[in-house]
Structure 1
Amino acid sequence: MINYRPIARVVSILLCIVGVMMWTGLPFSLYFGEDSRPLLLAGLTSIAMGGGLFLVKSPKGIPIRKREGYLIVALSWVAMTLSGMLPYLYSGMIPSVPEAIFETVSGMTTTGASVLTDIEAQPRGLLYWRSLTQWIGGMGIIVLTVAVFPLLGIGGIELFAAEAPGPTSDKLHPRISETAKRLWFIYVGLTGLLTVLLMLFGMSPYESINHALTTMATGGFSTRNASAAAFGPAIQYLLILFMFFAGVNYTVLYLSLKRRWAEVWKSDELKAYIGLVVLLTLIVTAKVYYATGGADFEQAFRDSLFQIVSLITTTGFVSADYTSWSTSLTLIFFVLLFLGACAGSTSGGIKLIRHLVFFKNSYLEFKRIIHPSAIVPLRVNRDVVPGKIITHVFNFLLLYLLLFVLGSVILAMMGLDFMTSIGAMATCIGNVGPGIGSVGPVDNFAWLPAHIKLFLSFVMIVGRLEIFTVLVLFTPYFWRLN
């Protein structure tokens, strides 16, 4: 039987945290002479909702089992969406509930798709909150709460497994709360470092904070209508570097800080990540350079590298309209919407480790055909991958593909054209941001009808929580008493 008391307790803590984090935008509203009441009232509302749930009594020492863990994750994202959209509604910045839900879900899931047509005209305090929603969702606010679970008398291992990005969550420390603290230490540290570097490179302090938040979250919200194209080459190269860092497994980043290089280079996924970025950059740069008549090699290289890293890491920043380059390059960038960076990073998408397992196992299948009696194990990072993991990966890939096809058909039935349907579905389930068709890198989602925005909001949450976490709630097995 599902125990709802610890669920209410955890969701209440999350709502209070979100409410307090809203108030961090008040200094910006006051400094720029804007109305600070929307953020103030939204924070109070969120804390009041959390306080009401916190009154539900829960004895100490109650473990969170798998069912409670998955329910907490799903309900937390619903609660954070309902709370996170309040500043938009209270201020009138986004007066429509479906659009406010879409913008909030896009932020919390680090997708980066937006319904705002003139970003630079919006209040700066609210734009900061918009960026902060991506930073909150980047690592997952659930992981932050896991770090304080000992204070609540609740165990957090099942919750961490449900929320942590990627098919695996390598532990940096035997205690799950210590792991969460170390992850957030790296996350906060890199965000602070990028903020300082952006200011040194000429970006204003306000914009530096916003872009650091959304870069490390691999989110892609910007304070400029032109996104990263509004800034010079030096800033774009800096964003490329930190987007790349944000796409690396945080365990690998931790090992790098400890200078344990042998363990770092043991990662097959990291090697594939670096190799893929290098290979694609060479191909796309050559194509763009010759397509423009060899006018500016540095520009072709920078635009190609920027868009490749931005899409692979699912950040979604835009420095150029890649759909205008050529049909073949548009197809390449469309495929990138399905990749994702490393597991254990803040990026969305399928994740490279799953692709590695799939291609390695498919290659070994030829050997098994020639030697049917031989035992040919699949190895990743020199370790044998259990059959259960291989089955899970194949099931995930098939389900991901089926959801993409089904969602694209649904969008087409709702009235979207073919290119826009597949582009919107691919970018939302992969939490990327820009797609193809009428939701390309220079477009936004403001023109979509309300029911399509709500459908895509659900798709973004399914993609962010890696499909199974959400869809398991719709199975009869989950709700059975035994």
Structure 2
Amino acid sequence: MNYAIVFRLLGYVLMIEGALLLLPAAASLVYGEWMVLGVFLLTAAVSAGIGYALHTIKPRSKVFYMREGFAATSLCWVFISVMGAVPFVLTGCIPNPVDALFETVSGFTTTGASILPGVEDLPKGILFWRSFTHWIGGMGVLVFLLSLLPLTGGSHVNLMKAESPGPQVDKLVPKVQSTAKILYGIYFALTMLELVFLLIGRMPLFEALLTAFGTAGTGGFGFRNDSFGSFSPYIQWVVTIFMILFGVNFNAYFLLLMRKFRRAAASEEVRGYFVVIAVAVGIITANIYSMYNSFGEALRQAAFQVGSIITTTGFSSCDFDLWPTLSKEILVMLMFIGACAGSTGGGMKVSRLLILAKTLAKELKTALHPQVVAPARMDGKLLNHETIRTTNVFVAAYIFIFAGSFFLISLNGFDMVTNFTAVAATLNNIGPGLVKVGPMQNFGCFADPAKLVLIFDMLAGRLEIFPMLVLFMPDTWRKF
């Protein structure tokens, strides 16, 4: 383990967080929240100071491998969450440190699960920080770091692989730093585009910023107690469309920018993603039509919730816990499917499910015709053994973590639906579940030990499980 390079990277990330904390401080200044302003400035100074101290560590080698990439990624996310929780505690908005950590991890991992029963009375600076953590965590703090720092050696792609969601990470251009800049450029441009459309709908600038942050990062923190239930149909449609757009693989946007329309349209994952959305919206619209007696409203509510759940954003336009069982079952299934790989969304990813389906078809064909060679292909390319193996291992690890978390939080004594959807909502980075953790409820009912389990689930889900698991392996910390 190259400890020095890991600590140095952690130092860079904490300095970046210190700088980013100045934005909610500015919001507090604008609204005259002097105590909150002082807390943000103090936290920014401490974060930057610790980061600078770690940054001074000089590694003998700046080249690192997957082990350092996994360790650095996991530790960076843990430390920025701990530091990001400080303003909640010091301002008294969330005095319990475990609750504050839960809220912050939920923000950075773009989960959107909250322990707060109400948010409308929170200071503006705190509301800004809650939603801004979604935007920071959406694309990833280390991807942002890679866009700024040219790191030595070709192995720094391991950082992007450890943090980026999906079964594999492709370089859009030969240099990883250039790839990171392109990804953040697309991310920023889409965020600004949504902001413009929200302002056209006469949403106040502050609320439009928070909405854009949450939608871009596919988070789910709201600034109203009813989430988006009280907003106009126009605003709900804008948010619906952009939630779905941020769930698309960003590689497709890059191909569109390069005018490679045929390659962008050839993506099986993107096509499958839109097919799942269309089918789910159609079934739910028909299922809930009798509740609204208006096709337009039923379609809007169905599209909003389907877009919110499959992209793991977690916003809500209504209490879908009151919907018929079929509709709720479809939403729960969408929790597991998730968005596309290479997007800001969570879940298992459409690409993994396609790989599993193609592998199953291949094995069935081989069982019927042992002499026939039946290769599995994705986007016209042969699926190699390594991709299939890592996908199978991911699913196995996912099932084990899900089952373990489900049994551990069951010690709280809540009903099965609450426990099952609480784990599904956190491990898939969605936010709301059903019953006690429904869209109009919160996670404050769980005891602190259960919240720590769910905090681990949120981090594991955002980092694709493996980076968090390697922290518990002795070999990770052994010097060779």
The answer to whether the superposition gives a TM-score over 0.5 is yes
- Tell me, yes or no, if the aligned pair for 2:248 and 2:340 is still in contact at 8 Å: yes
The residue that corresponds to 1:40 in the other structure is: 41
Determine the structure 1 residue equivalent to 2:409: 411
Rounded to whole Å, the distance in 2 between the matches of 1:360 and 1:419 is 31
Equivalence for 2:273: 273
What CA distance in whole angstroms lies between the structure 1 residues aligned with 2:219 and 2:432?
A: 11
The equivalent residue for 2:345 is 347
Structure-2 residue corresponding to 1:440 = 438
Q: Are the aligned partners of 1:148 and 1:177 in contact in 2 as well (CA < 8 Å)?
A: yes
Residue 9 of structure 2 corresponds to which residue in structure 1?
10
Moved over 3 A (4+): 151-155, 476-482
Alignment of 1:14-93 (within 5 A): 14-35=13-34, 36-59=37-60, 62-93=62-93
Shift in Å, 1:479? 4.2
- Equivalent in 309, 315, 318 of residue 317 of structure 1: 315
Q: Secondary structure at the match of 1:282?
A: helix
Instruction: State the distance in 2 between where 1:153 and 1:162 align.
Output: 17
For the pair 1:357 / 2:346, whether they are aligned, the reply is no
Q: TM-score, normalised by structure 1?
A: 0.96
Deviation at 1:58, TM superposition (A): 2.7
Q: Which residue in 2 is equivalent to 1:450?
A: 448
Q: Deviations over 1:422-451 (max 9, x none)?
A: 011111000000111210111111222222
* Structure 2 spans left out of the alignment, 5+ residues: none
Is the CA contact 1:39–1:126 (under 8 Å) kept in the aligned structure 2? Answer: no
* Residues 193-216 of structure 1: per-residue CA shift (max 9 Å, x gap): 111211111100001111101101
Map 1:215-364 → 2, pairs under 5 A: 215-289=215-289, 291-292=290-291, 295-364=293-362
Q: Deviations over 1:300-350 (max 9, x none)?
A: 000001100100000000011222111222222111111111000010110
Q: 1:6 to 1:27 in 2, by over 3 A?
A: same
Aligned to 2:193: 193
Contact residue 321 and residue 434 of structure 2 kept, 8 A: yes
Q: Could you tell me whether the CA contact under 8 Å between 1:64 and 1:154 is conserved in 2?
A: no
Q: Indicate the residue corresponding to 2:380 in structure 1.
A: 382
Tell me the alpha carbon deviations over residues 94-121 of structure 1, each in whole angstroms, 9 at most, x when there is no partner: 1110011000000010000011222110
**Alpha-carbon distance in structure 2 between the residues aligned to 1:236 and 1:275:** 21
> 1:249·1:345 contact (CA, 8 Å) conserved in 2?
yes
Distance in 2 (alpha carbons) for counterparts of 1:365 and 1:13: 47
8 A Cα contact 1:62 1:155, kept in partner = no
Q: Is the 8 A contact 2:412 2:447 kept in 1?
A: no
Which range moved further: 255-264 or 210-219? Answer: 255-264
Q: CA deviation at 1:481?
A: 4.7
- The answer on whether the counterparts of 1:149 and 1:155 sit within 8 Å (CA) in structure 2 is no
1:401 aligns with 2:399: yes
Cα deviation, residue 371, structure 1:
1.2
Match of 2:148 in 1: 148
- Per-residue CA distance 1:229-263 (angstroms, 9 max, x = gap): 12110011000111111000011111122221101
Determine the C-alpha separation between the residues in 1 that align with 2:285 and 2:138.
Answer: 30
Residues 201-216 of structure 1: matches in 2 within 5 Å?
Answer: 201-216=201-216
Whole-angstrom CA distance in 2 between matches of 1:245 and 1:334: 21
Q: Which runs of 5+ in 1 are unaligned?
A: none
Verify the 8 A CA contact 1:156 1:177 in the aligned structure 2: no
Q: Which secondary structure does the structure 1 equivalent of 2:444 belong to?
A: coil
Change (3 A) 1:261 1:74: same
Number of aligned residue pairs: give it. Answer: 478
Distance 1:86 1:353, change over 3 A: same
Q: Does the 8 Å contact 2:194/2:212 carry over to 1?
A: yes
Tell me, what secondary structure is at the counterpart of 1:120? coil
Distance 1:347 1:201 in 2: 25
Instruction: Name the SS of the counterpart of 1:119 in structure 2.
Output: coil
Matched residue type, 2:442:
N
Shift of 1:476: 4.1
1:160 equivalent in alignment to 2:157 = no
CA distance in 1, matches of 2:370, 2:390: 23
What RMSD over aligned residues (CA atoms) do the two structures have, in Å?
A: 1.5
In structure 1, what is the Cα distance between the partners aligned to 2:201 and 2:366? 55
Gap change, CA 1:154 and 1:224, over 3 Å in 2: farther
